[in-house]
Amino acid sequence: MLNIVIFGAPGSGKGTQSELIIKEYGLDHISTGDVLRAEMKNETELGKIAKDYIEKGQLVPDDLIVNMLAKVLDSKANSKGVIFDGFPRTIPQAKALKAMLNERGTDVSVMLNLQVDEDELVKRLLERGKVSGRSDDNLETIKSRLEVYHKQTAPLADYYVGEGKHVAIQGMGTIEEIFGRIKKAIDAVNK
Ligand code: AMP
């Protein structure tokens, strides 16, 4: 299986690039943010708990996310591969993902780390906020999301360096330029 972790700060283009990767390589997509937003819309127990964290720009606790991910992963059992978007966001989540994939006889193939300047991230998120309807795309929440990213999520890059899976991708430029860089990185592991 071709399992890709797409990684980067909020606004780094993970969702946009995931769509292009899916089209090109025929992969399944798991975005934990999308799953949580669906749970919120359906007013499930998980959705109600997640709402408070999401609206403050904080991370939803690891145990809830890992249980949720395991269920979604089982629904993709016959897949050619999965692109993980917005997950893992902490070291415990990364270890849980490795264990879940190993149990299923597979592993992460590559981690693509999209690098985007901080000013550009804020600009993109505010632009998205005008059309997304997302309750967390406002300046105050964007600031806490970026802080949470730097403190809790960015250190994961080193974890994947240690696993020999980390590839830095220059995430500034046009969508096509960035996708070109991503394709090269994927083709290097997908032989
Ligand atoms: P995203 O759509 O990936 O930007 O996620 C939106 C929000 O959902 C985040 O700010 C978190 O509050 C929550 N969230 C999404 N994925 C995770 C995750 N893997 N771990 C913890 N919280 C998450």
| 124 in active site | no
Confidence band, pLDDT 50/70/90 cuts, at residue 165: very high
Domain 2-189: which CATH number of 3.40.50.920, 3.40.50.1010, 3.40.50.300, 2.60.40.2470: 3.40.50.300
Is the CB of 171 within 6 Å of ligand 1?
no
| Burial state string for 10-47 with b = 16 or more CB within 10 A and e = fewer than 16 | bbbbbbebbebbbeebebbbbbbbebbbebbeeeeebb
% the chain with pLDDT above 90: 96
pLDDT at residue 41, rounded to an integer: 96
| 37 in active site | no
Dist CA 142 CA 145 (whole Å): 5
Would you say 185 and 112 are in contact if contact means Cβ atoms under 8 Å apart?
A: yes
Confidence band, pLDDT 50/70/90 cuts, at residue 161: very high
Is the CB of 29 within 6 Å of ligand 1?
no
Per the listing, tokens 């991370």 go with 59
pLDDT at residue 88, rounded to an integer: 98
Taking residues 87-93, report their average pLDDT.
98
Is the CB of 36 within 6 Å of ligand 1?
yes
Dist CA 185 CA 121 (whole Å): 23
pLDDT at 38 over 90: yes
Would you say 171 and 114 are in contact if contact means Cβ atoms under 8 Å apart?
A: yes
Q: How far is the CA of 191 from the centre of ligand 1 (A)?
A: 32
Summarised one tens digit per residue, pLDDT across range 122-146 is 999 999 999 999 999 999 999 999 9
Catalytic residue among 56, 95, 98, 134: 134
All structural domains of the chain with their residue ranges: 2-189
Is the CB of 156 within 6 Å of ligand 1?
no
Taking residues 37-56, report their average pLDDT.
97
pLDDT at 78 over 90: no
Taking residues 79-87, report their average pLDDT.
96
pLDDT at 77 over 90: no
pLDDT at 14 over 90: yes
Which of 14, 59, 65 for mutating ligand 1's site (highest number of atoms within 8 Å of CB)?
Answer: 59
- Please list the alpha-helical segments (H only) found in 28-117: 32-41, 45-56, 62-74, 91-103
The DSSP code for 149 is I
Is the CB of 53 within 6 Å of ligand 1?
yes
Q: How far is the CA of 86 from the centre of ligand 1 (A)?
A: 6
- The answer for residues whose C-beta is within 8 angstroms of residue 72's C-beta and 6 or more apart is 30, 35
Confidence band, pLDDT 50/70/90 cuts, at residue 152: very high
